[in-house]
Structure 1
Amino acid sequence: MACRITELVLDCRDPETLADFWCRVLGYVVLEREENGDLEIGPAGTELGEGGLRLVLSRSDEPRRGKLPLHLDVNATDRDQDEELQRLLDLGARTADIGQTGEETWHVLADPEGNEFCLLRRRVAP
């Protein structure tokens, strides 16, 4: 038997703003709201451990120190990479420079709080 990653916790200044962004990017919904302002988002109608990875957006006033040591990679499900890039930019993502050469097949972006993520080239099943 092995463990499985079920949740990824992201410290952030504004969980509501990031929940709105990531819900629109991933097609997720808010699953839980804690009294302290933390939010958990994931696929609608799923229980913990089914339906994919959940994101816990945890309120923190600690300043971020440099590039994140972990980032998310996303793939489009129903459009090509260029169309998905435009959709993500329209949702509030912005391009990020972490030293790319320009020859990459992926795009490095940042969410509204500057957390880097990559849009990969492949289209995957929804």
Structure 2
Amino acid sequence: MVSRISDLIDKTPGSAQLSRFWCKALGCEVSATDETGVAISGASNAPTILFEPSSDSFGDNSLHLDLCPTDRSQADELERLVAPGATKTDVVPSGSWHVLADPDGDKFCLMAKRIPAEPEDFHD
């Protein structure tokens, strides 16, 4: 048996706005909202992302997401992510990835590699 990530936590002053952006970016839906924040979920095998309200400043985010397109080119996916609020950073694209920022300014990468929307089953 192995462990799997169940939740990714993002402490943010803008939990509602940030959760809306990531729902659009990842095709997720809000799965819970309470005093701990806003949780979004998508595929059954993907972790929940919890946006916890916080006024603490963490500087550069210590955890970031790498996104891979599932059904379109990297250029088309870049355009789709910018529409709901992602911004291009001053980091020069490498050719295989772009560094973007979400509405809170947290950086994430858009990779050129395309992966299927649902991972294939595998066995040892």
Q: Which residue of 2 aligns with 1:56?
A: 50
2:77 equivalent to 1:78: no
**Residue type of the alignment partner of 1:40:** A
| Aligned position for 1:38 | 37
After TM superposition, give the deviation of residue 110 of structure 1 in Å.
0.4
Please give the alpha-carbon distance, in whole angstroms, between the structure 1 residues aligned to 2:7 and 2:102: 18
Gaps of 5+ in 1: none
**1:68 counterpart residue number:** 61
- Structure 2 match to 1:21: 21
- Superposition deviation, residue 51 in structure 1: 2.6
CA deviation after TM superposition for structure 1 residue 19, in Å: 0.8
2:122 corresponds to:
none
The answer as to 2:106 corresponding to 1:115 is yes
TM-score, normalising length: structure 1: 0.85
1:2, distance to aligned residue in structure 2 (A): 2.7
* C-alpha contact (below 8 Å) 1:42/1:52 kept by paired residues: yes
SS in 1 for 2:17: helix
Dislocated runs of 4+, deviation >4 Å: none
99, 102, 105: which one aligns with 2:96: 105
Q: Which runs of 5+ in 2 are unaligned?
A: 118-124
Letter in 2 for 1:3: S
Counterpart amino acid of residue 50 in structure 2: V
- CA RMSD, aligned part only? 1.6
Distance 2:62 2:96 in 1: 21
Give the C-alpha shift of residue 70 in structure 1: 1.7
Q: How many residues align?
A: 117
Q: CA deviation at 1:37?
A: 5.8
Question: 1:15, 1:37 within 8 Å by CA — same for their partners in 2?
Answer: no
Q: What is the CA–CA distance in structure 2 between the aligned matches of 1:32 and 1:86, rounded to whole Å?
A: 29
State the one-letter code of the partner of 2:41.
G
